[in-house]
Structure 1
Amino acid sequence: MADPLSRAAARLLTPDGGPAIDFSAPAGAPALTSPDSVSWRVFKNPVSLFVGGVTAVILELAEPRVRSGVWDHSSFKAQPLKRLKRTGLAAMVTVYGPRETAEKMIAGVVRMHGHVTGETPAGVAYQANDPVLLDWVQATASFGFIEAYHAYAHALTPAERDAAFAEAAPGARLYGATGAPTSQAEWKRQLTLMLPSLEPSEIVFEFLEIMRATPLLPGPLRLIQKPLVRAAVEIVPIEVRARLGLGEAWALNGVERGLVRLAGAAADKAPIKGSPAVEATRRMGLPADYLYRRRAV
């Protein structure tokens, strides 16, 4: 399992034509979060990151202004793998990269988002740097990654889940998401506030079909790509699934659920050579398997 996961992780984190990020240097350079954080453990797992990333995008696409901004101003439809690589690398830099590297990258993203404006099909104006939309995007990302790790890799305590939300705050503020949730309770309140504005769209199903059909994973792992997408749908809050029309056809069966959990648990125990998590621990003078053997009490 480790070798295919290594290839999959490397493939999804290798930029096309962009600069490579050295997570191993400079020695001792701190990240936005510390090595003993919950986030460093959560983001090391490529299986739950894939699942949680899909969950986050489903929730983003449920909001019409975010949906138009993503679908009308990105290369996702034409080049889904390229877009996934950029998004995955940005997440890794935010969590594991040296603080200076993360700040520089995020500033570039904010500048780029400053040019993303338009109207939804219903005529509602939007801009990507709208704080309300930034808070929602940040909230969905935190929820997706935390919930996927908890459901399919390693169960987190309520305190650990709260900590993971709170640890995202420094990066969120740099993106402009100053009102993003810092606990599960705040996430639930934000979801309640946003729920009336969420709506069904064929774009959600188009996105899911892209995620199922595009060859994103190598070799034998491709056999579980469709179950991984269904696993992502399954952890979307039930009230949102109902609004979007994501019914029983998107549910995991017992065998698939067991397979996803097996893959998630395996990925949580096997250090991936050259991965941002391993290279970042080396940068901090820690053993390569630090995040894989450490468990909070």
Structure 2
Amino acid sequence: MSRQPFGSPGPRDPREARGFRDVAPEAVLLGGAGAAILLQLADPRVGRGVAEHSDFARQPLKRLWATLDYVYAVALGGPQLRGAQVAHVSAAHDPVHGKAVGGRPAYDAHDDDDARLWVAMTLAWAGTRTWEAVLGPLPREAQDRVVVGYGALASSLGVPAERWFGDRAAFDAEFERRVAGLRVGDDALAVSRELLAAKAAPLWLRALMPAARLATAALLPAPVRAQFGLAYGPGRDRLFRAIVGGLGAVYPRLPAGLRQAPAWWRLEMQARSLGLTR
């Protein structure tokens, strides 16, 4: 196969990011993973589909790497890598469907454009929320370009491009509208509790879970946090702000290669598995 065209690291200072491709490889976004997952589960269609077809609560790293591999391939990979990841995700979605029963909604991961749109929105929102908590907001034009870039996560899986958003304001308005209508059901609660307990996770991941639970509660919209029953009072808020304040002082000073190492490592792993080279 042909050589896989990976890009070079973005700006030396992440606060100078100009668009989605600059933002996507930054490890700081990983702090929003828990918030993104819980927002996805809060949609009853997604929550039921995950509860009935996924074991990511028992294998959290498998789900995390699968999501990151897709994001990195779409944002940073060449055509072959993007195509392979899209095909992989689409195949994984094929069996994920079920009829409405007992007040629980029907779901279809392969053909429900609206549910796929919501999943992409949660990744965009959680990534942006985490970025701004640690590094502060980008200039408005850059924010708009980042939002537009995130749309590739939806359109690559068949969501019509016109359903995505032309700027940050349009994205925020639709996100707030959807959050106001979320109702966390039993499926979402059961999966979230198992996920955040992380009893089956490796020891090193369990050691990180107190920080992950704090970040998840801090980043979630307050109404969603309350529905999941996550405790978050003034003391935890002060702790979170102290942590992100420290990260915000240190993270921009790290070399780009170190900040982005997980992204380029995962891209390299994907390329090797497909017989590609950098």
Structure 2 match to 1:41: 22
Greater alpha carbon shift after TM alignment, 56-65 vs 192-201 = 192-201
Whether 1:198 aligns to 2:179 is: no
Structure 2 equivalent of residue 263 of structure 1: 247
Structure 1 residue 227 displacement after superposition: 2.5
1:135 lines up with 2:122 in the alignment: no
Q: Secondary structure at the match of 2:33?
A: helix
Tell me how far apart the structure 2 counterparts of residues 172 and 250 of structure 1 sit (CA, whole Å).
36
1:21 maps to which residue? Answer: none
Which has the higher mean CA deviation after the structures are superposed, 96-105 or 221-230?
221-230
Higher helix share: 2
Q: What does residue 189 of structure 1 align with?
A: 173
Which amino acid is 1:254 matched to? R
State the shift of 1:164 in Å.
0.8
Question: Does residue 1:106 correspond to 2:98, yes or no?
Answer: no
Q: Identity across aligned pairs (percent)?
A: 24
Give the alignment partner of residue 158 of structure 2, picking from 142, 166, 176. Answer: 176
1:76-95 correspondence runs (5 A): 76-95=56-75
Matched, 1:276 2:258: no
Q: How many pairs align?
A: 252
Secondary structure of the structure 2 residue equivalent to 1:252: helix
Give the Cα separation in 2 of the matches to 1:275 and 1:244.
30
Residues 78 and 238 of structure 1: CA distance in aligned 2, closer, same or farther (over 3 Å): closer
The answer to whether residue 48 in structure 2 is matched with residue 65 in structure 1 is: no
8 A contact 1:231–1:257 mirrored in 2: no
In 1, the alpha carbon distance for the partners of 2:203 and 2:246 equals: 17
TM-score (norm 2): 0.74
Structure 1 residue 240: deviation in Å? 3.0
Paired AA for residue 51 in structure 2: W
Asked whether the 8 Å contact 2:44–2:184 carries over to 1, the reply is: no
RMSD: 3.4
CA 1:188–1:244 in structure 2 vs 1: closer, same or farther (change >3 Å)?
A: farther
AA at the equivalent of 1:149: W
Which whole-Å CA distance do the structure 2 matches of 1:216 and 1:157 have between them?
Answer: 39
**Residue in structure 2 matched with residue 26 of structure 1 by the alignment:** 3
TM-score when scaled to structure 1? 0.70
Are 1:125 and 2:113 matched, yes or no? no
**What SS does the corresponding residue of 1:137 show, helix, strand or coil?**
helix
Q: Which runs of no fewer than 5 residues in structure 1 stay unpaired?
A: 1-24, 281-297
Q: Which moved more, 1:145-154 or 1:257-266?
A: 257-266
